[in-house]
Amino acid sequence: KCQYGIVANENGKTMNTFLGIRKQRVRQLKESRGDLDILKVMQMEYRMGAVWTDEQFAHLAELHLERGQIESAIEYMSLQQLLNRIEKYAGCEYGTGCSSASHRLQSTATTYVDYLNMRRELGYDLSNMIYQYPRDLKAAHDRMVMESNQKEMDKRLKEVKEKFSGIRKQYRKLRKKYYYEDEEYIIRPARSAEEIVMEGRLLHHCVGGDTYLSRHDTGTSYILMLRFREDADNPYITVEIDASNDRIRQWYGAYDKKPDQKHMQEWIDQYVYKLQNNLPA
């Protein structure tokens, strides 16, 4: 499909050398009708000199992890341990065919690898199972985020609390208009400037910058938090909505990506329709 970057060796004389995969994987690639997620995992397997089971292979294809993320994690554990832990933390199984489950697994995988990398960078001994396999991943990840630059973060939170105090003051009013929940998701306005900063910090995107805080504070646009209903304290997607016409300006999950994009776009569109037509939640 002319996707840039999928050819490993343009002079390769066979399919496996052309694409940079193990010879034994060619038939599987054909059976998948050239699925690009499958191909990406095949190429990682070959470049890492690994031989994965078909089950491990399918799980990795579902997680969408990058090669560097996998390599950094398996310095401390086996690949199977990594896959098992992600499944346990996510609270859902691989291969269900449910897009929501798949994207929860992907989000959990990113969070877990990010947690491990922060632990390592801060000098923790990851051979210690307590550090390597925390009981509560979200809480442990949040602690590492804060510890990474605690002094700077404290200064930033104090600064925005004073500078954009209107965000906290108008929360209850905005909540009456923008709050909505269904069986799976919940969406609400930000409670404070500090919460917006932490949202950006935890999801690794730029919503915590002064530009977005100022827009919310002055009522130009508002920052909304979209989360899984059963995990309402854990950031998932950040939404910016125009205050004048209730149209979505932008929405992003972790690392400026759009998790489960088709499904979540449909959900957000339905939410906006209810909002603009004053339909009951």
For 25-34, write each residue's pLDDT tens digit: 999 999 989 8
Q: Which helix (H) or strand (E) holds 23?
A: none
Calpha distance 40→217 (Å, rounded): 43
Asked if residue 3 has pLDDT above 60, the reply is no
Calpha distance 40→62 (Å, rounded): 11
Q: Which amino acid is at 70?
A: I
Calpha distance 57→190 (Å, rounded): 39
**Exposed, middle or buried, 10 (CB in 10 Å: 0-12/13-18/19+)?**
exposed
Question: Can you tell me the mean pLDDT for 181-202?
Answer: 95
Q: Is 256 left (phi over 0), alpha (psi -120 to 50) or beta?
A: left
Asked if residue 146 has pLDDT above 70, the reply is yes
29 Cβ contact partners less than 8 Å away, ≥ 6 residues apart? 15, 19, 21, 35, 38, 39, 42
Token duo for residue 67: 């090669």
pLDDT above 90 as % of the chain: 79
Write down the mean pLDDT value for the chain: 92
Calpha distance 48→29 (Å, rounded): 18
Cross-strand bridge partners of residue 224:
189, 239
CA-CA-CA-CA torsion sign (149, 155, 158, 159): negative
Q: What is the pLDDT, as a whole number, of residue 94?
A: 95
**Residue 234 DSSP symbol:** S
**Residue 112 to residues 154, 226, 244: CA-CA distances in angstroms?**
24, 21, 39
pLDDT classification of 243: cutoffs 50, 70, 90: very high
Q: What is the pLDDT, as a whole number, of residue 153?
A: 83
Calpha distance 71→66 (Å, rounded): 9
For the ranges 8-12, 22-26, 166-170, 218-222, which has the lowest average pLDDT?
A: 8-12
pLDDT classification of 173: cutoffs 50, 70, 90: very high
**How does pLDDT run across 67-126, given as a tens digit for each residue?**
999 999 999 999 999 999 999 999 999 999 899 999 999 999 999 999 999 999 888 999
Q: Which helix (H) or strand (E) holds 66?
A: none
pLDDT classification of 152: cutoffs 50, 70, 90: confident
Calpha distance 261→103 (Å, rounded): 10
Token duo for residue 190: 């930000």
pLDDT classification of 264: cutoffs 50, 70, 90: very high
Q: Which amino acid is at 171?
A: Y
Strands (E), 160-215: 180-181, 185-189
Q: What is the pLDDT, as a whole number, of residue 122?
A: 87
Token duo for residue 233: 């304290």
